[in-house]
Structure 1
């Protein structure tokens, strides 16, 4: 959890070519405009307005990047993609942004994981399904994927179990967890999972190569 609390604003971009080319692991947050994405990010990072760091009027369709790392060192990046499906946005702008977001999810080389926020009272929508189709080839190649069912405090136990079952069927290849900023349900679990995504275990042989360790010599006969 302490690692998530180090989040700080890095940069913002309206187009993919404005994003810096990074070799650090990047985790993207996506979801409909009413899914509670900003609240989730702010809860995970324990910062009240981090997700709004650069969202001034006229910047509602930017990708915002936040760096993570203790002692001022950056070892991973969070990407906050604007919510989609908002009715007040002109159709032409919706189409343009959907293309930008799809291109980001398909081509961003350092992307290691995607967190999809979903209000379980409405379930995964057609736009969510389109997003799942976009990232499915990358998920099959190893991209991590998590569906967070937000506002879980508004569900009864029976409703929560049903929502989990349905989402797991729809999110083939990804994990599904309940999340409530109000009750802090699922916060620690989500934070731990994101840490694991950004810090995958190093295979023993790779660790040995990095340290310059040499295999023991065979005993002389």
Structure 2
């Protein structure tokens, strides 16, 4: 029988909303980061993945998530790991000075974080993929970080157009990025595939002390 992709989660808890390098955890656990444009559905995906509606507050205001938010996940069949919710990019309503500060902080995190073993890059099924997203994926892949593109809100697109969406994603990101995963928190689509990717990334992550 195929192995159950879902981890047997014992506990998930919010650890810290880091606003600077000194607030980042130093425990050495593997980290799975979640990135994407503002309002792409990062927080919704996170709480759907761990089946805890109250885990994170889902904001109706793009750019509301201003920290690098760490969630510690404990399960019976995975090592301790962090799910890391990154600030959304493209938050037009946020003052420019804060944009620059968050950008520098997040850039340092992405460039220097040795425990970062995979990136879940979320794109909206209804929107065109931008150069920011493709360049970001190429940069992370070049650094040796696994990038998995997740197409959110796929339930908003007629199923007859899913093939077209997949082709557009493949064309935009190229062959270095694995096949995209369609995701819908409303329809329960995609969580099994995402957990398979997370398990694979964590199982091969180097130990950092």
Structure 1 stretches of 4+ with a deviation exceeding 4 A read none
> Cα distance 1:82–1:5, how it changes in 2: closer, same or farther (>3 A)?
farther
Matched, 1:94 2:99: yes
Matched, 1:29 2:34: yes
Please, which runs of 5 or more residues in structure 1 have no aligned partner?
Answer: 54-58, 203-221
Greater relative CO, 1 or 2 (CA 8 Å, sep 6+): 2
* Secondary structure of 2:84 counterpart: strand
Contact 2:118–2:146 (8 Å) recurs in 1: yes
Matched residue pairs, number?
194
Distance 2:170 2:66 in 1: 29
Query: Which residue pairs with 2:186 in the alignment?
Result: 182
Please, which runs of 5 or more residues in structure 2 have no aligned partner?
Answer: 1-5, 59-63
CA deviation after TM superposition for structure 1 residue 201, in Å: 9.2
Task: Give the TM-score taking structure 1 as reference length.
Answer: 0.79
Bigger radius of gyration among the two: 1
Distance 2:150 2:186 in 1: 14
Distance 1:74 1:194 in 2: 11
**RMSD, aligned CA:** 2.5
Contact 1:102–1:131 (8 Å) recurs in 2: no
CA deviation after TM superposition for structure 1 residue 150, in Å: 0.3
CA deviation after TM superposition for structure 1 residue 157, in Å: 2.6
CA deviation after TM superposition for structure 1 residue 185, in Å: 0.8
* Secondary structure of 2:56 counterpart: helix
